[in-house]
Amino acid sequence: MPEPAAPIALSIVVPMFNEEAVLPLLVERLRTVADGLDTAYEVVAVDDGSSDATPVLLERYRRDWPELRIVRLRANSGHQAAISAGLARARGDYVVTLDADLQDPPEVIPEMLRVAREDAVDVVYGVRHDRSTDTAFKRGTARLFYWIIRRLGAIEAPQDAGDYRLMSRATVQAVNSLPEQNRVLRLVVPALGFPSAAVGYTREVRAAGHTKYPLAKMVRLAVDSVTGFSLAPLRFATWLGLLGGLAALGVLVYAVVARLLGQALPGWTSTVVIVAAVGAVQLLALGILGEYVGRMYAAMQARPTYFIAHDSLDTGR
Ligand code: UDP
Ligand code: MG
């Protein structure tokens, strides 16, 4: 007879996509930290449809690490969806989400847990003190990202807080209950407004392997962030349209006056320029509209953003 399971104090959710190179290092460091907590925990490794040896390695590690739980998604669904899957499955009173590549040092977890308990806060953000190990490109795009989010007045997202954070059960339940798709957790969580604190850490270099965030995925995250929290781009399209209209009116008046004064207009260049400019503005506005219409469409379909293929908790494997 297996013992009745002790309540789990902490779940550590780790999304991973083709992380075979970093997995041995991760397991070693994470296990040392977690075992040192002296409390019942589980590590929820969310295998985001990896096509390398990640699933094989995970099963191997699980043989002598019973706290390791493997949740495998049917297809590569993206970082945010993988975290969402982990949050939906995690059982702990507190849940930490952590990248697999050791850029977020697991050694910070005990401090996050301590702060959550002692200060009685629901969310503890890991905030990057020092990002000098990130590439200049990554830092530049990150700064632009937070600048835009702040300028749009959407929400107070803690600067330089990525997806390394600890959440209470209540917070996780709130996140899980959101019907919203393509949710950007680093914005959704602060928007929920739970009492929070921050713990600083130094961002490390990726321990092994290479980034799973190509530019296309970064752009996707940025577009999801903006459209998920702000209607400003739609208003921007309106203003652009108004401005274009005014400019067109000016040209019209000029053309009529010139005609009345009997000055033949050469005309061709200006016509072509205006047609092109108006066309561009229209396409831009359409594209912006499309982003929102697309999100509405996806929300209506309410198709899950991930499917769980396997959870070692259910199957015992
Ligand atoms: N990741 C994932 N699915 C994806 C892309 C990334 O689960 O489609 C995971 C990845 O394995 C890592 C985390 O998300 O644990 C962050 O990715 P990465 O470190 O490659 O991003 P970067 O730090 O370069 O922005
Ligand atoms: Mg990384």
Residues 216-233: pLDDT tens digits?
888 888 888 888 878 778
Instruction: List the structure tokens of 245.
Output: 């209209």
Atom nearest to 83 CA in ligand 1: 7
Using a 6 Å cutoff on CB, does residue 80 contact ligand 1? no
Cα R_g (the chain), whole angstroms: 25
Which ligand has its closest atom nearest to the C-alpha of 212?
Answer: 1
Instruction: Please indicate whether residue 10 or residue 180 has the higher confidence score (pLDDT).
Output: 10
- The overall average pLDDT reported for the chain is 88
Q: For residue 287, what are the CA distances in angstroms to 229, 264, 294?
A: 17, 38, 10
Q: Is the CB of 128 under 6 A from ligand 1?
A: no
Closest ligand 1 atom, residue 16 Cα: 11
**Would the pLDDT of 313 be above 70?**
yes
Query: Distance, CA 206 to ligand 2 centroid (Å)?
Result: 6
More confident residue, 171 or 213: 171
User: What kind of fold does domain 10-217+303-315 have according to CATH?
Assistant: Spore Coat Polysaccharide Biosynthesis Protein SpsA; Chain A (3.90.550)
Nearest alpha carbon to residue 10 among 89, 131, 94, 128: 94
Q: How far apart are CA 103 and CA 82, in angstroms?
A: 17
DSSP code at position 90: -
Q: Which residues are within 8 A (CB) of 131 and not within 5 positions of it... i.e. 6 or more apart?
A: 138, 139, 142, 160, 203
pLDDT digits (tens, 9 = 90+) for 255-311: 778 778 877 566 766 777 777 778 878 888 888 888 888 888 888 888 888 999 999
Question: Both tokens of residue 167?
Answer: 């959440």
SS (H, E, C) 182-226: CCCHHHHHHHHCCCEEEEEEECCCCCCCCCCCCHHHHHHHHHHHH
Most distant CA atoms of the chain, gap in Å: 101
Q: How confident is the model at residue 1 (pLDDT cuts 50, 70, 90)?
A: very low
Tell me if 124 sits within 8 A of 198, measured CB to CB.
yes
- pLDDT on residue 227: 82
- 128 alpha carbon – ligand 2 mean position (Å): 13
Give pLDDT, residue 222: 87
Q: Is the pLDDT of residue 56 over 50?
A: yes
By residue count, the chain amounts to 317
Mean per-residue pLDDT, 228-254: 80
Distance in Å, CA 227 to ligand 1 centroid = 22
Residue with the nearest Cα to atom 25 of ligand 1? 213
Amino acid at 143: R
Contacting residues for 226 by C-beta, under 8 A, at least 6 apart: 148, 149, 152, 154, 232, 233
Q: What angle do CA 305, 185, 315 make, to 5 degrees?
A: 50
* Residue 98, phi then psi, degrees to nearest 5: -145, 135
The neighbouring-strand residues paired with 200 are: 127
One-letter-per-residue 3-state SS of 10-76: EEEEEEECCCCCCHHHHHHHHHHHHHCCCCCEEEEEEECCCCCCHHHHHHHHHHCCCCEEEEEECCC
Give, using CA atoms, the residue closest to atom 24 of ligand 1: 211
Q: C-alpha 131: how far from its chain's center?
A: 18
ipTM: 0.97
Residue 78 Cα to ligand 1 middle (Å)? 8
Q: What is the 3-state secondary structure (H, E, C) of 260-273?
A: HCCCCCCCHHHHHH
Identify which ligand lies nearest to the alpha carbon of 73: 1
Pairing state of beta strands 10-16 and 41-47? parallel
Which tops the pLDDT comparison, 286 or 47? 47
Q: Probe ligand 1: pick from 14, 16, 17, max atoms within 8 Å of CB?
A: 17
Beta strands in 98-142 (DSSP E): 123-130
86 contacts: CB under 8 Å, gap ≥ 6: 11, 13, 14, 15, 44, 46, 71, 95, 97
Is the CB of 312 within 6 Å of ligand 1?
no
* 99 in contact with ligand 1, CB cutoff 6 A: yes
Q: Determine the residue type at 276.
A: A
Q: What is the pLDDT of residues 80-138, one digit of tens each?
A: 999 999 999 999 999 999 999 999 999 999 999 999 999 999 999 999 877 777 788 88
- Give the mean pLDDT of 195-205: 91
Counting ligands in written order, the one closest to the CA of 26 is 1
Q: State pTM to two decimals.
A: 0.83
pLDDT of residue 232: 79
Q: How far is the CA of 81 from the centre of ligand 1 (A)?
A: 11
Residues 6+ apart with CB under 8 A from 70: 45, 47, 55, 58, 59, 62, 310, 311, 312
Backbone angles phi, psi at 169, to 5 degrees: -55, -45
Residue to probe by mutation, ligand 1, list 213, 215, 218, 224, most atoms within 8 Å of CB:
213
